[in-house]
Structure 1
């Protein structure tokens, strides 16, 4: 059971918790492809091939393991590799990535996201924890947050307890006084539990809980959490 009296801070995931990520990524990849068609058509053809794209990503994962927590760097260097393999100028990879990244920040919030953030931010410091590369300033949500902890900047990602502990530190409290909210059963909910936090699993898709250790609360939307914490 959720112990509301113990909560002194909130940590929250971003992608698929506050907005659906795949429509965003699909728009960003289309923007990137359209740009490449104009500026590097041979590389655009590579990115149109699922098998070629999969091979590039697998190659990057194997050859640049130090980038595993930096999705921006993985994306940018994958573009650079595609340009090189296509015989086109790899120096335009940064510009191409900027096209992708700008579109990636154009998210569409779930209807319950902003009202929940407004409610929670009036009562608790909120810190985001993300393995992704969303930019809260550019998205327009930064005013609700005390801090943003990303795997790219911190060096390790969820479910490692250290990133949860760093977020608790950013909220100036101990892990046991934090409620973490997120959609991923393993990365978010189990990760938070193993870090000593309470966990609210946001299960929008009616999935089955896959672990023996269970979260304090399971939600189908963030409005339910607001009701619990009034």
Structure 2
């Protein structure tokens, strides 16, 4: 792999794992009706609404904060499931659980190594309020969709454009790693090298391919 000057990182499912927090989101909402099965079912329903809403919003060229999107999605879930719960309180619970996401076991060592060798940033399609704050212990610049009113993979491509402008380097001197399609497609559109973090051995089904694919952050570091 050629040398890079900047490493750009996704947050959720790249540096931290949010999946284990699903039960904690739904336990206070369901209370005595809570079960793991029901929490998984409702979590899947919420994500289904989220992905549909996020895609529609992104394709329309407008911007909604994560709080606005999740507020709309919780309202739809509660209406669909005939549940009587304050959707704003549900959003607060969801955001709090995102902030408590656990680091993957290799994340801390990985960050210690790369921040000593490269300029490093986090690029996340979220509100700042959702993010764990461990990154503040490192010399890491944060770029969020909330700050720039844009998403990684929208027609404006402002998120990665802001990364390029901030560091003042050629796009090809930046490499972005993330787990989602938006991470790869958005970075590639900006001329940034894209590395797909495929922890679950999924199949890539898109015309634009990632430049690299790895199973974990340690494997990514070895490429560097």
TM-score, L = length of structure 2: 0.73
Q: Given the superposition, is the C-alpha separation of residues 11 and 94 from structure 1 closer, same or farther in structure 2, using an over 3 Å criterion?
A: same
Equivalence for 1:16: 13
Corresponding residue SS for 2:176 = strand
Equivalence for 1:183: 179
User: Rg larger in 1 or in 2?
Assistant: 1
Q: Given the superposition, is the C-alpha separation of residues 168 and 146 from structure 1 closer, same or farther in structure 2, using an over 3 Å criterion?
A: farther
What's the RMSD between the two structures over aligned residues? 3.6
Please list, as runs of the form range in 1=range in 2, the aligned pairs for 1:172-211 lying within 5 A after superposition.
172-184=168-180, 186-211=181-206
| Deviation sequence 1:74-124 (CA, Å, 0-9, x none) | 2345557869xx8x8x9x765554333222211111111111111111112
Alpha-carbon contact 2:145-2:151 (below 8 Å) kept? yes
Alpha-carbon contact 1:12-1:127 (below 8 Å) kept? yes
Alpha-carbon contact 1:147-1:170 (below 8 Å) kept? no
Q: Given the superposition, is the C-alpha separation of residues 132 and 31 from structure 1 closer, same or farther in structure 2, using an over 3 Å criterion?
A: farther
Alpha-carbon contact 2:98-2:132 (below 8 Å) kept? no
Equivalence for 2:99: 105
Q: CA–CA distance in 1 between the matches of 2:28 and 2:166?
A: 35
Equivalent in 151, 163, 167 of residue 167 of structure 1:
163
Q: CA–CA distance in 2 between the matches of 1:174 and 1:94?
A: 42
Q: CA–CA distance in 1 between the matches of 2:151 and 2:70?
A: 17
Q: Given the superposition, is the C-alpha separation of residues 79 and 213 from structure 1 closer, same or farther in structure 2, using an over 3 Å criterion?
A: closer
Q: Any unmatched runs of 5+ in structure 1?
A: 38-46
The Cα shift of 1:18 comes to 1.2
Alpha-carbon contact 2:176-2:192 (below 8 Å) kept? yes
Q: Given the superposition, is the C-alpha separation of residues 8 and 136 from structure 1 closer, same or farther in structure 2, using an over 3 Å criterion?
A: farther
Q: Given the superposition, is the C-alpha separation of residues 137 and 203 from structure 1 closer, same or farther in structure 2, using an over 3 Å criterion?
A: closer
Q: Given the superposition, is the C-alpha separation of residues 20 and 49 from structure 1 closer, same or farther in structure 2, using an over 3 Å criterion?
A: closer
Alpha-carbon contact 1:11-1:181 (below 8 Å) kept? yes
Alpha-carbon contact 2:6-2:174 (below 8 Å) kept? yes
| Deviation sequence 1:22-59 (CA, Å, 0-9, x none) | 2234422334544xx8xxxxxxxxx9995xx76xx58x
| Deviation sequence 1:111-165 (CA, Å, 0-9, x none) | 1111111111111221111113465874322232532112223212121332111
Q: Given the superposition, is the C-alpha separation of residues 115 and 93 from structure 1 closer, same or farther in structure 2, using an over 3 Å criterion?
A: same
TM-score, L = length of structure 1: 0.71
